[in-house]
């Protein structure tokens, strides 16, 4: 099993360019997540998808959009990149029932994005 895969691993953009980060999981998980990690900080939740067909905002959604393409895939789009979006982006998935306690999240290897 590959677990959670992310593409690309590295990306450099100019301010105003757009791009889509791809994420896929092969664990038949219901829930998927996008985080960003900045120096000296923990991960912050951008968007999540509790189940196929649903998406919801997390802590820092501004400047991003997401698509839950199917149960396996969850993409993150930057429509007009800004230098403040320079970060490492992690995708994660979990089994989840959607109530009460949370399940373990399994993380991808990350995408290092630089916006000039």
Partner 1 sequence: AQSVTQLDSHVSVSEGTPVLLRCNYSSSYSPSLFWYVQHPNKGLQLLLKYTSAATLVKGINGFEAEFKKSETSFHLTKPSAHMSDAAEYFCVVSEWGGGFKTIFGAGTRLFVKA
Among 2, 40, 53, 62, binds partner 1 (CB under 8 A): 40
Is there binding between residue 44 and partner 1 (CB under 8 A)?
yes
β-strands 43-49, 56-57: how paired? antiparallel
Listed in sequence order, the residues at least 6 apart from 90 whose beta carbon sits closer than 8 Å to its beta carbon are: 6, 34, 35, 36, 37, 43, 107, 108, 110, 111
Is there binding between residue 69 and partner 1 (CB under 8 A)?
no
Residue 56 host element (H or E): strand 56-57
Among 34, 64, 89, 90, binds partner 1 (CB under 8 A): 90
Among 56, 84, 114, 115, binds partner 1 (CB under 8 A): 56
**Per-residue contact flags (x/-) with partner 1 for residues 6 to 25, judged by CB under 8 A:** --------------------
């Amino acid at each position: 099993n590959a677990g959670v895969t992310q593409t690309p691993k590295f990306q450099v953009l100019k301010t105003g360019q757009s791009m889509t980060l791809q994420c896929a999981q092969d664990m038949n998980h219901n829930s998927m997540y996008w985080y960003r990690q900045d120096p000296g900080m923990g991960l912050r939740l951008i968007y999540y998808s509790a189940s196929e067909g649903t998406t919801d905002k997390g802590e820092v959604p501004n400047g991003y959009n997401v698509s839950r393409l199917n149960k396996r895939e969850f993409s993150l789009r930057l429509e007009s990149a800004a230098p403040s979006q320079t970060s490492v982006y992690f995708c994660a998935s979990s089994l989840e029932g959607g109530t009460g306690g949370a399940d373990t999240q399994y993380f991808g290897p990350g995408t290092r994005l630089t916006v000039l």
